[in-house]
Amino acid sequence: MSPETGFTPDKTNLLIKNHKIANISGELHNDSENTTNIDCTGKWIIPGFVQAHVHMAQVLFRGLGEGLTLLDWLQKKVLPLEAAHDTETLYASARLGVAELLLGGNTCMLDMGSVHHMASIFKAATSLGIGMTGGKILMDTGNGVPKVLIEDGKHSLAECEKLLDKYHMSQGGRIRYAMAPRFLLSCTDALMRTSMQMAIDNDVVWHTHVAEQIAEIDFVKQQTGRESIELIESWGGGRAKLALAHMIHLSDKERDILNNLEHPGILHCPRANTRLGSGVCHLPEFIQHDFAMGIGSDGSACNNKLDMFEEMRAAAALQDLRVGPGVLTSKDLLYMATLGGARAIGMDQEIGSIEKGKRADLLVLDPQMVPFVSLASPVDTIVHTGDARMIKSVLVNGEVVVSDGVLLTGDTAEITSEAQIAIEKLVDTAF
């Protein structure tokens, strides 16, 4: 697109200039011959979805981890497959995942990367045009973990420094680094503490899995004598930008500690939590305390889709059963999928809402298609009826990356063909 884009919905016009929303007005007129107009008459415009917790390394594993609980799923399926990745297979996996995210209206993601070949994921995100925060997975211990995935902590952190220097704030800030220790059972106390300090020193997100399943909680207590949030606070978590995935099984003591942390971003993964039988996150209680809450699809090996529409509905359905119908409103859910997710990953000043000065990450939705015609409010319709067929256009940084269901930044036939070859290679290597 040109540097200046006139954007014309039904009742309000948006001017996008230099990748950001420059003006919002009902009386906005073209003021430049270089302006490109996108006619959005009869359409709805919302912020792009923020995928708050995903695994690009697992996209090729879709459907290969069925019928297992978390620790068996990791040890028997996911970790052997992750260990089998090389530069090419990881690139194929990430390209397939980014394509799926963009086609589904996700304009930004927080990725829990890979122990090795992390540059492949950054390369895929850079080339296809999605916003990404992510980092190399840190693992220096763990039972049942393939040896190739366990690294010396000093070596891992040195690699993080190189990746951070190269990729953080690249592509005009669209690509960012995060420290990504996998979870408490795969990292020593020293690695957790040092990675936390590195995140604080560099003002980047510290991203990990927390309190996902009862067996994990029991192991943490047995090995450390403390609870997960206690440990995170002891490592310096009170001063860090925390992005904590799952957060299902927390004690009252841990909830109290959360209130004293500076940035406890909570990343809810409803469909993954049900597929692995992990449990139900206490979302309404977190919302009452005004915690930063985002929604993520987690890995394709346990979901098996990266679909924010389905995640919003799953989040609602779980709380309908747990607490009662309507405890989460459509507004709550759409907020978590957009501005809440941006807030949870520390980017709410830049994305997640349609405001002057923010990055132009936007979805144009068509409500006049057969499955979506309704007298319900737009928010109710988007959350409880919408799917990717509703998406007319996807803009990231003011650039159109999807139009009428077509990915403009990559050849989907090539992406899927290379992904099929890569997964066959991975399975042959891993098992």
Number of helices (H) and strands (E) in the chain: give both, helices first: 16, 19
Residue 180 confidence (pLDDT): 98
Whether 8 has a pLDDT exceeding 60, the answer reads: no
Query: What's the rounded Cα separation, in Å, for the pair 364 and 374?
Result: 18
Residue 278 confidence (pLDDT): 95
Across the range 114-120, mean pLDDT stands at 98
Domains and CATH numbers, the chain: 4-47+354-401 (2.30.40.10), 49-344 (3.20.20.140)
Residue 19 confidence (pLDDT): 95
Whether 21 has a pLDDT exceeding 50, the answer reads: yes
Between residues 13 and 429, which one has the greater pLDDT?
A: 429
Residue 221 confidence (pLDDT): 93
Alpha-carbon Rg of the chain, whole angstroms? 21
C-alpha separations of 240 from 67, 265, 290, 401 in Å: 36, 10, 18, 33
Query: What's the rounded Cα separation, in Å, for the pair 199 and 244?
Result: 14
DSSP 375: S
Least confident span in 59-63, 71-75, 336-340: 71-75
Whether 108 has a pLDDT exceeding 80, the answer reads: yes
Query: What's the rounded Cα separation, in Å, for the pair 109 and 298?
Result: 11
Residue 27 confidence (pLDDT): 76
Across the range 222-249, mean pLDDT stands at 97
Residue 15 confidence (pLDDT): 92
DSSP 64: S
pLDDT tens digit sequence for 167-214: 999 999 999 999 999 999 999 999 999 999 999 999 999 999 999 999
Residue 33 confidence (pLDDT): 67
Whether 38 has a pLDDT exceeding 60, the answer reads: yes
Per-residue confidence at 6, pLDDT binned at 50, 70, 90?
very low
Of 146, 127, 135, give the one whose Cα is nearest residue 57.
135
Across the range 262-271, mean pLDDT stands at 97
Whether 243 has a pLDDT exceeding 90, the answer reads: yes
Per-residue confidence at 36, pLDDT binned at 50, 70, 90?
confident
Residue 32 confidence (pLDDT): 64
Query: What's the rounded Cα separation, in Å, for the pair 351 and 44?
Result: 18
pLDDT tens digit sequence for 363-377: 999 999 999 999 999
Query: What's the rounded Cα separation, in Å, for the pair 167 and 368?
Result: 41
- The burial of 1, by beta-carbon neighbours within 10 Å (0-12 exposed, 13-18 middle, 19 or more buried), is given as middle
Residue 31 confidence (pLDDT): 62
Whether 25 has a pLDDT exceeding 90, the answer reads: no
